[in-house]
Amino acid sequence: MKILYGIYQWLILAPIFGLATILTSVVTVAGCACSRGRRASDFWSYWPAHYWSRFCCVLAGVRVTVKGRENICKDRSYVFTANHQGAFDIWSVYGYLNHNFKWLMKKELESMPFAGWACRKAGQVFVDDSSMSGIRTTIQEAEKNLKDGMSLVIFPEGSRSWDGKMIPFKRGAFMLAAEFRLPVVPITIDGSFKAMPRFSYNIRPTRITITIHKPIEPGEGGFNTKQLMKQCRDAIESALPEEDKGISSEERKPKE
């Protein structure tokens, strides 16, 4: 069965995925370029990639289940913070969260062929954390979008796990979340590591479960960044299986 799926993945799935990515990128860019008004722009920046992501999951035989959708309102803006197990985190959140949002992305991802082009036109937020001026620019760009139900998705680990367990969170993501003074919603992604771990390009058909936790509301004085980071990590970890709890050992990470 693994051999048959491997043949399917590289001879059928990979070419279709590539063509679908190019087509989605072109449609997104064209739609955003022709948009008149924010509502139209928000439509083209989100929905083509939403259906592309669902298509990719179905194509790969990955099923996604969402729990806790009742914890969020579609007309309210949030900062979503999710653990980052593998590449399928992107497709599962984009395809099944069902809430319009922008990604907070590393600046270097802007150079990705086709997808980086589409992300720029769609108004995704690229963060340059090499300087304070870069961070201030990121905050200014994000604040333009975070209203009327538009939200932001952040992976506070900064990179994918090497063993399924969470990497220590970076404080910068929570400093940004605190700056926006919006409810912060922890999201647990379980199963993405099994679908395609960081150290492999081979996909395994599996089930991914997304758990949307209750929003953490800012107090009158805003958030305490350190406390917010702990609350989010505790909430995310609570919905992981026992073998994925704790801090990643990163034993599989290549030594530099």
Q: Read off the pLDDT of residues 34-58 as tens digits, 9 standing for 90 and up.
A: 999 889 999 999 999 999 999 999 9
- Looking at per-residue pLDDT, the higher value among 255 and 198 belongs to 198
- Looking at per-residue pLDDT, the higher value among 158 and 242 belongs to 242
In tens, the pLDDT along 64-100 reads 999 999 999 989 999 999 999 999 999 999 999 999 9
**Over residues 24-37, mean pLDDT:** 96
- In 119-235, DSSP assigns E strands to 125-127, 151-154, 184-190, 207-212
pLDDT at 127: 82
Is residue 250 over pLDDT 60? yes
pLDDT at 60: 97
pLDDT at 251: 47
**Over residues 6-29, mean pLDDT:** 97
- Looking at per-residue pLDDT, the higher value among 163 and 127 belongs to 163
Beta-carbon contacts of 126 under 8 Å, excluding residues fewer than 6 positions away, are 105, 106, 107, 109, 110, 119, 120, 138
Global pTM? 0.92
Angle at 130 between CA 183 and CA 165, to 5 degrees: 55
pLDDT at 57: 98
pLDDT at 139: 74
pLDDT at 133: 67
| Average pLDDT value over all residues in the chain | 91
> Is beta strand 207-212 parallel, antiparallel or unpaired with respect to 184-190?
antiparallel
In tens, the pLDDT along 102-150 reads 999 888 888 899 999 999 999 999 887 666 566 677 777 777 778 778 9
pLDDT at 7: 95
Residue % of the chain over a pLDDT of 70:
95
* CA distances for 66 relative to 63, 143, 209, 211, angstroms: 10, 28, 6, 6
pLDDT at 2: 87
**Over residues 156-164, mean pLDDT:** 92
* CA distances for 92 relative to 95, 172, 213, angstroms: 5, 24, 16
